[in-house]
Amino acid sequence: MEPQSMLQPAGVQAQAIRALWDLMLAVTGSVWFLVAGAICIALWRATRRTAPQPVATRRMHAMIAWSTAVTIGVLFGLLGAAVWTGQRIQALDASNALHITIVGHQWWWDIEYADPIASRRVRLANELRLPLDRPVVLRMTSNDVIHSFWVPNLHGKLDLVPGRVTMLRLRADRPGRFRGQCAEFCGMQHAHMALPVIVEPRGQFDAWLDGQRQPAHLPHTAQQQRGRALFETGSCASCHAALGTRAGARTAPDLTHMASRLTLAGGLLPNDPASLEAWLRDPQAIKPGNRMPVPGLSERDRQDLVAYLGGLQ
Ligand code: CUA
Tens of pLDDT, residues 118-159 = 989 999 999 999 999 999 999 999 999 999 999 999 999 999
Q: Read off φ and ψ for residue 32, nearest 5 degrees.
A: -60, -45
Task: Tell me: pLDDT of 46 over 90.
Answer: no
- Does the pLDDT at position 59 exceed 90? no
Between the CA of 164 and the centroid of ligand 1 the distance, in Å, is 16
**Residue of the CA atom closest to atom 1 of ligand 1:** 147
| DSSP codes, 10-63 | -BHHHHHHHHHHHHHHHHHHHHHHHHHHHHHHHHHHHHH-SSPPPP-HHHHHHH
Residue 253's pLDDT band, with cuts at 50, 70 and 90, is very high
Q: Quick check: helix, strand or coil at residue 162?
A: strand
Length of the chain: 313
pLDDT at 10 over 80: yes
- Separation in Å, CA 45 to CA 40, 53, 64, 69: 9, 11, 19, 26
Q: 140 pairs with which residues across the strands?
A: 102, 166
Q: Is 200 in the pocket of ligand 1 (CB under 6 A)?
A: no
- Alpha carbon of 304 to those of 70, 129, 223, 227, 307: distances in Å? 71, 29, 5, 4, 5
More confident residue, 50 or 3: 3
Q: What is the pLDDT of residue 127?
A: 96
Q: What confidence tier does 90 reach under pLDDT thresholds 50, 70, 90?
A: confident
Q: Is the pLDDT of residue 52 over 80?
A: no
184 in contact with ligand 1, CB cutoff 6 A: yes
Strands 128-131 and 136-142, how do they pair? unpaired
Which ligand 1 atom lies nearest to the CA of residue 185? Answer: 2
pLDDT per residue as tens digits for the range 171-213:
999 999 999 999 999 999 999 999 999 999 999 999 999 999 9
Instruction: Please name which of 245, 270, 247 lies closest in space to residue 259, comparing C-alpha atoms.
Output: 270
Question: Which pLDDT score is estimated for 50?
Answer: 72
Question: Is the shortest distance between the CB of 102 and ligand 1 below 6 Å?
Answer: no
